[in-house]
Structure 1
């Protein structure tokens, strides 16, 4: 078996072997780029150490194959920490190669004193190749003859790296999640697989390349998630790229044929996970698209904008004395649902405070679910969440007051029975991070007689449903990351310091189904947002009810 094929088999076994419930919840790095910051720093420390290390470590060769490319891009000033290929390769290095390097480096933490041999036979043993065959003993007792002497600076680097290695490291779940993110970005943004393989994303080029083995891992993970059309495209590219290794190419062909059979057996016409036709009838097909995906790419339906011609921009105080000396710049984005974009409503200093507070409690975002757990960790939502109360910092109280004045709604946290708004939810997205299209309402998207069956948090009905959503944009995003409303034909690009407000409920109290929205995958850069959901019952005076079924 070739090395390449062995790597694939190992990766597949590790990714999909024993998928316990606990293992499915372990991937905590790929789902938040903020949580990846330490890993990038650690990866740099390991890479620089290995470049200057006197001993040849077999695993170091594989580690440095892609690290030197990251080093080149860093020197060129290219985007690194928000580039999906770099994120994937950092996780790959730390998951697949770092454990073997760590075990090799550990012996150096026990070396003390000057670099000397401790046995007269060391030179002869070294000439016989025992530095390799009996490595640990020889490095410790025959340091000089094995040419394993470290300078004080290099010894300090080793100690720093090993001291950081005790902190939790990424798992195969993280590498699997990053691989799925690459396929998600490719399918959402219609980027050729070859561009991902060569590191070309939009206008951001990266030096390191994905290998055929990486390509197969992406295809395998995508196939396992039932995304047949996307997986087929990746397998097809992998098979062509493996032409110099017939055994590897044969293995990829077998997996592709298995996918073809499964695609046609489970085929669902019109389902986005399948091609438009069975593969036995037509091999070369373009996957289905969707309005959500199109909006994520900035493609709008021109036929749906005829009734939005009267939308305008404003600069005024929103009828609030609080805003008289500092009027707000805003624009109306849509009338149904009613939607506004407010510019410069949170400062850089306030954003820094929110991020600092959120970093203390960021955890994997969940979705509501039925059953005893009530929540699910799912690839439908790839981000980390932190909840911040107004009492946690003066900035939170100030922002809550500002939201209330600008939105002209009651939007403070109160006791449950009179809750005006929920705690501020701060989100940081991961590689290809997204939130698939959904409604923000708890229960008003189903008939009234089913409200009691909807899984919501205890006593949430007392405050009414989520009348409106206020979303702060806490960062710019280089590419991707729009907030898309497929039924309203609106997509809002992240703008640091801005906020978007939309109403989830009509004035008659019913769910406005056109408020369906989602967070598009982040293609390049980091995305931070903060949501405040404004509740219904406390705002009956601010937004009077209507008996008109259409209003």
Structure 2
């Protein structure tokens, strides 16, 4: 009998079911969570392998029975009368058509896949599975990378990211899904790009059909203002699927729109041959002092992320690298390596200020506490998630571990500032295309609810530790300064957010560029102004020429 197909259940599956714990959703927001998906995929592959093996066993059994029946049937067909005269043959024929065929029929109708589909249902309660939100987040991340780093759709589809070719390529179905996700977001420009790429990659064995692609492509083309081309695509779609109701309705609508447009064109005296293309490109608001720069912040941000911007030569000429002890006795033995990045505002990088062992300890402490990173609503002061910040974060106190306490003391030694009113150490891990769009670390005047639960006043300074190298992308950029800081494991960036007057320094507006390839871990220490009055006193003269 075919007992294998009824008894198959991998020991590995049993072990995983009894030892693996489930973790929450939003895995796209941190690469540390994405790692668990490979375990999930491994279990599913084993489960699918078991299902295929059971199906093959069943088919092999049925082939064997069919061969036996055919052989006996051919023997009987040579001399039917003589064959049936033998009582054993008569009995066996009767048995084959009763008991044997009932068993064969049972095997044919039994759902051999039930056990394995039930396994998948059980896995969903135990293992880490991505959600539809994760799929949308992953697709949006690719679009973000494509736009920020100026990558062509065809290059991304064939695995070329920011000039580096990787051994991976997308199928027509993969491109179609990205196009579908952008369509859901009403991002029709990208839908057109990715659906065209899906069309180019269509093959005979593709799951999706040309008509599927054309439906999305035609409507997106219409939404982008090109009615002529949308109508042509719809006509092609109707040739492939004449009964497509939505396409027939769209065809009628496009024809009416063209007719109205042509009538208006005739009244104006032109030929009506050109469609008006809608420009839905996105831009951030301009930088604080637009008179100093001829580019919008969005463009500066993208150029800085690509490494195509640098400060003026007269700014760079004033910078230096040196050792410093900050008048701390211990640092006289082991001075800090400091690299000046900008002088006004004051931005520096301290090199080799966090060891590998400290990094691993902090990451291990943070992992169980990681949650989707939030931003503060400037009107309500409440924390909320936002698409312009894709990462997960956790907060560590000094009492959590001696390493945390040591790092906080090191920050005090580095900066010379008091840690009494500083926030806890925040640990962040960026997800697929993880980023944080341009923002200020300090609270502006109109943000009256900022830090309402914190008694330390505004954020006077920021310390940002890089706990990993990043293979591609992931820079910290200051668009107004045309400056980019590239992640280097063990280094820490430091800058003042407030000027000596206590006013926010608007030139410190910064961003975390999307990570193209790599796993970016950072930790932040936000230092508040209360307690720094005698350490960094106000200047005697105003240091702001204007109010923002």
Higher relative contact order (CA 8 A, sep 6+): 1
Q: Is the 8 A contact 1:46 1:161 kept in 2?
A: no
TM-score normalised over the length of structure 1: 0.68
Whole-Å Cα distance in 2 between the matches of residues 125 and 290 of structure 1?
Answer: 73
Q: 2:153 aligns with which of 160, 172, 193?
A: 193
Q: Is the 8 A contact 1:239 1:252 kept in 2?
A: no
Q: What's 1:456 paired with?
A: 450
Deviates more, 1:242-251 or 1:382-391: 242-251
Does residue 272 (structure 1) correspond to residue 283 (structure 2)? The answer is yes
Q: 2:344 aligns with which of 317, 333, 336?
A: 336
What secondary structure does 1:360 align onto?
helix
C-alpha distance 45-466 of structure 1, shift in aligned 2 (>3 A): same
C-alpha distance 473-139 of structure 1, shift in aligned 2 (>3 A): closer
Alignment of 1:29-40 (within 5 A): 29-40=27-38
C-alpha distance 526-201 of structure 1, shift in aligned 2 (>3 A): same
Aligned length: 419
Does residue 295 (structure 1) correspond to residue 304 (structure 2)? The answer is yes
Q: Is the 8 A contact 1:366 1:381 kept in 2?
A: yes
C-alpha distance 246-549 of structure 1, shift in aligned 2 (>3 A): same
C-alpha distance 307-135 of structure 1, shift in aligned 2 (>3 A): same
Does residue 503 (structure 1) correspond to residue 496 (structure 2)? The answer is yes
Deviates more, 1:214-223 or 1:355-364: 214-223
Q: What's 2:430 paired with?
A: 429
Q: Is the 8 A contact 2:297 2:480 kept in 1?
A: no
Q: What's 2:464 paired with?
A: 471
Q: What's 1:50 paired with?
A: 48
C-alpha distance 341-121 of structure 1, shift in aligned 2 (>3 A): farther
C-alpha deviation, 1:266, in angstroms: 11
Q: Could you give the per-residue CA deviations for residues 304-341 of structure 1, whole angstroms, max 9, x where no partner exists?
A: 34323110001121221121111111100001210001
Whole-Å Cα distance in 2 between the matches of residues 535 and 159 of structure 1?
Answer: 52
Q: Is the 8 A contact 1:466 1:533 kept in 2?
A: yes
C-alpha deviation, 1:493, in angstroms: 0.7
Q: Is the 8 A contact 1:468 1:501 kept in 2?
A: yes
Does residue 135 (structure 1) correspond to residue 111 (structure 2)? The answer is yes
C-alpha distance 270-36 of structure 1, shift in aligned 2 (>3 A): closer
Q: What's 2:6 paired with?
A: none
Does residue 360 (structure 1) correspond to residue 363 (structure 2)? The answer is no
C-alpha distance 165-345 of structure 1, shift in aligned 2 (>3 A): same
Whole-Å Cα distance in 1 between the matches of residues 370 and 141 of structure 2?
Answer: 20
Deviates more, 1:293-302 or 1:399-408: 293-302
Structure 2: tracts of 5 or more residues without a match: 1-23, 57-96, 228-274, 285-295
Whole-Å Cα distance in 2 between the matches of residues 458 and 326 of structure 1?
Answer: 39
Q: Could you give the per-residue CA deviations for residues 88-120 of structure 1, whole angstroms, max 9, x where no partner exists?
A: xxxxxxxxxxxxxxxxxxxxxxxxxxxxxxxx9
Q: What's 2:477 paired with?
A: 484
Q: 1:384 aligns with which of 386, 389, 392?
A: 392
Does residue 313 (structure 1) correspond to residue 321 (structure 2)? The answer is yes
Q: What's 1:12 paired with?
A: none
Which of the pair is proportionally richer in helix? 2
Q: Is the 8 A contact 1:42 1:164 kept in 2?
A: no
C-alpha deviation, 1:131, in angstroms: 4.2
Whole-Å Cα distance in 1 between the matches of residues 365 and 304 of structure 2?
Answer: 32
Whole-Å Cα distance in 1 between the matches of residues 339 and 140 of structure 2?
Answer: 37
Q: Could you give the per-residue CA deviations for residues 460-512 of structure 1, whole angstroms, max 9, x where no partner exists?
A: 3x312100100011111111111011011111111110000011111111111
Does residue 255 (structure 1) correspond to residue 256 (structure 2)? The answer is no
C-alpha deviation, 1:171, in angstroms: 0.9
Q: What's 2:76 paired with?
A: none
C-alpha deviation, 1:194, in angstroms: 1.8
Q: Is the 8 A contact 1:322 1:405 kept in 2?
A: no
Q: 1:28 aligns with which of 26, 39, 47?
A: 26
Deviation >6 Å, runs of 4+: 120-123, 158-161, 262-266
Whole-Å Cα distance in 1 between the matches of residues 423 and 436 of structure 2?
Answer: 19
C-alpha deviation, 1:401, in angstroms: 0.6
Q: Is the 8 A contact 1:429 1:528 kept in 2?
A: yes
Q: What's 1:219 paired with?
A: 179
Deviates more, 1:463-472 or 1:248-257: 248-257
C-alpha deviation, 1:538, in angstroms: 1.1
